[in-house]
Amino acid sequence: MSTTVHAGPPPTLTHLRSGGVSVLLEHADDLLPVVRHWGADLGVLSEGDLQAVALAARVAHGDSPFDVADQVTVLPEHARAWIGRPGVEGSRRGRDWSPAFRTTTGPERHDGTHHQGVVTRAADGTAYLSVVHELELHDGGLLRQRLTLSNDGSEGYAVGRVRLTLPVPERAGELLDFTGRHTMERIPQRQPFSAGVHSREVRTGRTGLDAVHLLCAGDPGFGFRHGQVWAVHLGWSGNQVSYAERHYNGARLLGAGELLEHGEVVLGAGESLTTPWMYAAHGTGLDEVAARFHAFQRAQPHHPARPRPVTLNNWEATYFDHSLPRLKELVDRAARVGAERFVLDDGWFGGRRDDTSSLGDWVVSPDVWPEGLGPLVEHVHARGMEFGLWVEPEMVSLDSDLARAHPEWLFSAGGRVGVESRQQHVLDLGHPGAYAHVRDQLLRLLRDYDIAYLKWDHNRYLNDAGHTPDGTPGVREHTLAAYRLMDELRSAAPGLEIESCAGGGGRVDLGVLERTVRVWASDCIDPLERQQIQRGTFLLVPPELVGTHIASGRSHTTGRRHDLDFRAATALWGHMGIEWDLTSCSEEELEQVAAWVRLHQEHRQLLHSGVVVNGDHHDDATWTHGVVAQDASEALFHVVSVRRSSTTGPDRVRLPGLDPAMRYCVELLRPGQEPLVAGRGVVPWAVDGVVLPGRVLAEVGLPVQPMLPEHSQLWRVRRVDG
């Protein structure tokens, strides 16, 4: 059967397929790409089939071009009858504010080792602007795009916004994004995808403790394992906006871009601005969306190949008390329980005896460390561990040698230094002198000591961030300088690992993760709070890049008390560490910690390479998550009682992600504890395990061994033959 697909020459179409995802781009009428399909894989389609898909995506046109939305490009334009947020906002002293880009060449296919890509070039000869649009579909199904905007005129062009978008279908009727605060990050919030704009803006100069994280649109009621979901994320650590936009004409878009202050970017003749990458993932349920982000990050060349070392950080153990004998004892206890890295936190430099001074003076304190850090570093290495160091390179204290010598290097808008927060201000790395000062001090430390790891903190917002002497906005240049500084340090010290920490989880994004191999999910390591924090963080970041530490018995941030097994089981799932004064522990507690560290090391390969899964269960009092091997041959699950249920058992937990056709043995793991004995209060399978097909475990599940609220249990799953 023949099909008429176009009233003129058929449009040029590009069909990208990878990892269960299809992206169909239409290049017609000299427009930038129009996305005709982004979602589930459409399979192998002939040219005729592709033309029919593109035709089917078009809607009926009436008298008004504003009433239809089937020609919205990845960079929406007012000049094309788009009535929503335009992709480019800016002007040349009030002119050229509504550009209309026409393609100058056909789409260029550029396929790499791990992706398929299309580059489109377009220009507006009247506004003297041109753009290069890059779109890539990576092997795991993750899509990303960015734009380079160039000023082809002789007069400066003030850029207001550059935003890219992707369409989502009408079925995407619900939105999910995240909010939060210090010690309570990644809190989900849902709402209908109603008419208008749902916009999440960051004006704090970093991704933010209340960051959108992922902006998702999907089938109403979508969960981890069900419902079609479309999600976007901006890979940028500075000011930004992510938004969902719906119009009366049927258009539904997800968009994102950098949020520029007035006058922050003025392109001179021949100058260009390249946006951050906008990442996008489609999947059935949030687990599949997360799997696409994880696969992308694991394919990056700087992704850690060696086992992630179990890390002990001294902060909650000693705070600013840097007594060498006490720290040596802590090192000895860390080695005894199996830690592989020791990190010295805040308090080692300048006059830093509390948090009121010395940020910016990155010189080892001669008062606290008369022989330098050498004795501690040597002791750490003698115990078989790597040495790491806390720094906060972008910050400065007014009470510091740096601030006294160079007050002009502090951010200052309108002649004022700005509001002090945590007794500190921000050092404007956009000043070449400030950048060189910090770089040289850090390089000296890396030369003087064998430092394998930097915990890079960032504890103050960059609001009111004026670049001296004229107070022009400086967030963008500072963010790029921070990236450049990380890159330069890693180049000078090959093998150096950097953690992104920002008042906890305040800088978690794919921009900073291009140069770091760890993020600190939160300053809160209360295991109950961490259930949600880690669940949300893992939607974007694979577990091996997320710091998860064993807390002390009484949480320093919430005051709650929890059993060691719950604290350790919660820390098991990421880049495991310890944030506890082990010198105060009993022998029994040390043995328990050592048992949990050994368990983590035994399963580390699985935990840090497998597929993250989460259960959708009827009773939200019990949460289930786990990691399943890529070949589904083994898995580890965590069953958590986050609160008391309104009903009593039998409470069954279904295990997602297993191969339905495989048979598995399920065992209850009890590190450092005696095995269960059959009897009252014990479910029969928990004594010696049970063998069942994966389909039964996923559809029927197993009853939970009874436990108190704010406790948990581990289930080990292994394939068996026969």
How does DSSP classify residue 227?
S
The residue with greater pLDDT, 649 or 443, is 443
Asked if 573 and 548 count as a contact pair (C-beta separation under 8 A), the reply is yes
For residue 543, cis peptide bond before it (omega within 30 degrees of 0): no
Please report the pLDDT score of residue 491 as a whole number: 98
Please report the pLDDT score of residue 249 as a whole number: 87
pLDDT digits (tens, 9 = 90+) for 160-170: 999 999 999 99
Segment 392-412 mean pLDDT:
97
pLDDT digits (tens, 9 = 90+) for 589-599: 999 999 999 99
Given a cut of 80, whether residue 344 has pLDDT beyond it is yes
Please report the pLDDT score of residue 647 as a whole number: 77
pLDDT digits (tens, 9 = 90+) for 477-508: 999 999 999 999 999 999 999 999 999 999 99
Given a cut of 70, whether residue 710 has pLDDT beyond it is yes
Mean pLDDT for the chain overall:
95
Query: What percentage of the chain exceeds 90 in pLDDT?
Result: 90
Given a cut of 50, whether residue 365 has pLDDT beyond it is yes
pLDDT band at 3 (very low <50, low <70, confident <90, very high): very low
- Whole-angstrom distance, CA of residue 426 vs CA of residue 394: 6
- Whole-angstrom distance, CA of residue 537 vs CA of residue 290: 10
pLDDT band at 617 (very low <50, low <70, confident <90, very high): confident
- Whole-angstrom distance, CA of residue 397 vs CA of residue 713: 45
Please report the pLDDT score of residue 58 as a whole number: 83
Among 71-85, 148-162, 314-328, 640-654, which is the least confidently predicted range?
Answer: 640-654
Please report the pLDDT score of residue 226 as a whole number: 98
- Nearest residue to 509 (alpha-carbon basis) of 75, 156, 206: 206
Given a cut of 60, whether residue 1 has pLDDT beyond it is no
Segment 109-123 mean pLDDT:
95
Instruction: Determine if the pTM surpasses 0.85.
Output: yes
Asked if 663 and 709 count as a contact pair (C-beta separation under 8 A), the reply is no
Active-site positions?
A: 457, 523
Segment 250-275 mean pLDDT:
97
- Whole-angstrom distance, CA of residue 391 vs CA of residue 455: 6
Please report the pLDDT score of residue 118 as a whole number: 97
Dihedral, CA of residue 409, residue 410, residue 415 and residue 420, to nearest 10: -170
Please report the pLDDT score of residue 722 as a whole number: 65
Please report the pLDDT score of residue 651 as a whole number: 80
- Whole-angstrom distance, CA of residue 698 vs CA of residue 684: 19
Q: Which two tokens stand for residue 167?
A: 């369409």
Given a cut of 90, whether residue 418 has pLDDT beyond it is no
Asked if 315 and 346 count as a contact pair (C-beta separation under 8 A), the reply is yes
Please report the pLDDT score of residue 6 as a whole number: 45
pLDDT digits (tens, 9 = 90+) for 164-196: 999 999 999 999 999 999 999 999 999 999 999
Please report the pLDDT score of residue 2 as a whole number: 32
- Residue 62's identity, in one-letter code, is G
For residue 469, cis peptide bond before it (omega within 30 degrees of 0): yes
DSSP string, 119-184: EEEEEETTTTEEEEEEEEEETTS-EEEEEEEEE-SSS-EEEEEEEEEEE--TT--EEEEEEEETTE
- Whole-angstrom distance, CA of residue 621 vs CA of residue 640: 8
Residue 289 three-state SS: helix
- Residue 645's identity, in one-letter code, is S
- Whole-angstrom distance, CA of residue 115 vs CA of residue 137: 5
Please report the pLDDT score of residue 32 as a whole number: 95
Segment 28-36 mean pLDDT:
92
Segment 360-383 mean pLDDT:
97
pLDDT digits (tens, 9 = 90+) for 650-678: 689 999 999 999 999 999 999 988 889 99
- Residue 295, CB half-sphere, CA atoms under 13 Å: how many? 21
